[in-house]
Amino acid sequence: MQLFSIFGNPVSHSRSPLMHNAVFQNLNYKACYTRTFLEDAKKLKETFFALHLSGANVTVPHKEAAFDACDEVRGFAKTVGVVNTLVNENGKLIGYNTDADGFMYAIKEFKKIENILVIGAGGTARALVARFLQDNIKVSLLNRSAARLADFKQMPCECYTWDNFQTQQYDLVVNTTSAGLKDENLPAPKELTQEILSNTNYVADAIYGKMTPFLQMAKKMNKTYKDGADMLLGQGVLANELFTNHKLKTEDIQREMKKSFQL
Ligand code: NDP
């Protein structure tokens, strides 16, 4: 029996155990997925091996630390320096990023996305911004504090804090902050958030399983919006393929994982 887990702080809200266990159980794959509360990111690697894990996911706020903890990082995670999926390959910790492609899967139904505002500058934002730029989408970034913008300033995107922000017309605005996750905060001051939302066609929040104050505002303003559930599904399917070393069919993983959203 293989053991998998998700590391985070907080981690009790995570639906990943439900999603992956639904796949393992219904497709007769001998594995179990649990959750691990981790306060000190420096302990990620030793905890992973002490628990004899075959693989793991990493959530807030440890994704950048996960990148540093890996023996080897593969694919898109190398471009962004952010890891959300870990695989134990013969005692070596291999890191991947499935968040960005999971998000692209989620916004497939939004048409003509050429100009995106990303709110937040953490691990998720880094992955999404790099992925959008890969598709030649124009990207602006807004973050509460200036410190985390430094890395983004090396990229071809416009970077703002609340103080110097200038609203433009956007096709999509994405909240990648954790504002609204365990509190009732908006990702930016109320008036600024209102101004931003009145200048976009579509709205997305990376947070799932909760109508955040950000999405509540978007709904009130009659915007087309979605929470992070489809992003979660997309990243989960890709992570499960890595966990099971592509032994299960993608469409079967997707079907069983989606069913777990009803639970
Ligand atoms: P990080 O901790 O790396 O980054 C958090 C970001 O949020 C920072 O930019 C921080 O700004 C900002 N922030 C935190 N609190 C506030 C606040 N009260 N007001 C404004 N800005 C704030 O987090 P991640 O990038 O890893 O994750 C972000 C969110 O995305 C989480 O809620 C997570 O659950 C969700 N997520 C969902 C996924 C899905 O599949 N649906 C996948 C991945 C993430 P500052 O720099 O000023 O501190």
User: Could you give the CA distance from residue 139 to residue 225 in angstroms, rounded to a whole number?
Assistant: 19
If one compares 38 and 108, the residue with the highest pLDDT of the two is 38
**Ligand 1 nearest atom to the CA of residue 186, by list position:** 19
For ligand 1, whether the C-beta of 179 sits within 6 Å is: yes
**If we measure between CA atoms, which residue out of 56, 50, 81 comes closest to residue 68?**
81
What is the bridge-based pairing of β-strands 55-58 and 2-8? parallel
Q: Is 209 left (phi over 0), alpha (psi -120 to 50) or beta?
A: left
Per-residue pLDDT for 148 more than 90? Answer: yes
Residue ID of nearest Cα to ligand 1 atom 36? 206
Q: What pLDDT score does 84 carry?
A: 95
pLDDT band of residue 187 (cuts 50, 70, 90) is very high
Q: What pLDDT score does 123 carry?
A: 83
Per-residue pLDDT for 263 more than 90? Answer: no
Q: Could you tell me if 139 and 157 are in contact, meaning their C-beta atoms sit under 8 angstroms apart?
A: yes
Q: What pLDDT score does 60 carry?
A: 87
User: Would the CATH topology of 2-97+230-260 be identical to that of 101-227?
Assistant: yes
Ligand 1 centre distance from Cα of residue 172 (Å) = 18
Instruction: Classify burial at 262, counting beta carbons within 10 Å of its beta carbon; exposed 0-12, middle 13-18, buried 19 or more.
Output: exposed
Fold observed for domain 2-97+230-260: Rossmann fold (3.40.50)
**Ligand 1 nearest atom to the CA of residue 188, by list position:** 20
Give tens-digit pLDDT for 76-113: 999 989 999 999 999 999 999 999 999 998 998 898 99
Which strand (E) or helix (H) includes residue 34?
A: strand 31-37
Q: What pLDDT score does 213 carry?
A: 98
Rounded alpha-carbon distances, angstroms, from residue 263 to 19, 24, 75, 209: 10, 15, 33, 12
Residue 262 CA to its chain's centroid (Å)? 21
The answer to whether 63 is a known catalytic residue is yes
Answer yes or no: pTM beyond 0.95. Answer: no
Residue 30 CA to its chain's centroid (Å)? 27
- DSSP letter for 142, please: E
Active-site pick, 63, 78, 111, 219:
63
Q: Report the half-sphere exposure of 206 (CA within 13 A, side-chain side).
A: 26
**If we measure between CA atoms, which residue out of 154, 157, 104 comes closest to residue 128?**
104
| Residue to mutate, 104, 124, 152, ligand 1, most ligand atoms under 8 Å from C-beta | 124
Per-residue pLDDT for 124 more than 90? Answer: no
* Average pLDDT score over residue span 158-174: 97
**If we measure between CA atoms, which residue out of 119, 111, 79, 75 comes closest to residue 94?**
75
**Ligand 1 nearest atom to the CA of residue 145, by list position:** 47
Give tens-digit pLDDT for 50-67: 999 999 999 989 999 999
* Average pLDDT score over residue span 228-244: 95
Task: Name every residue whose Cβ is closer than 8 Å to that of residue 122 and which is 6 or more positions away in sequence.
Answer: 60, 61, 63, 148, 176, 177, 178
pLDDT band of residue 203 (cuts 50, 70, 90) is very high
Fold observed for domain 101-227: Rossmann fold (3.40.50)
Average pLDDT, the chain: 96
For the beta sheet containing 55-58, the strands, ordered from the edge strand earlier in sequence to the opposite edge, are 31-37, 2-8, 55-58, 85-89, 92-96, 72-73
If one compares 78 and 263, the residue with the highest pLDDT of the two is 78
Q: What pLDDT score does 209 carry?
A: 85
Q: What pLDDT score does 167 carry?
A: 95
Instruction: Classify burial at 245, counting beta carbons within 10 Å of its beta carbon; exposed 0-12, middle 13-18, buried 19 or more.
Output: exposed
DSSP string, 205-233: ES--SS--HHHHHHHHTT-EEE-THHHHH
Domain boundaries, given as residue ranges, for the chain = 2-97+230-260, 101-227
DSSP string, 69-136: H-SEE-THHHHHT---EEEEETTEEEEE--HHHHHHHHTTTS----EEEEE--SHHHHHHHHHHHHTT
Q: What pLDDT score does 22 carry?
A: 98
- Write out the two tokens for 26: 């219904």
For ligand 1, whether the C-beta of 244 sits within 6 Å is: no
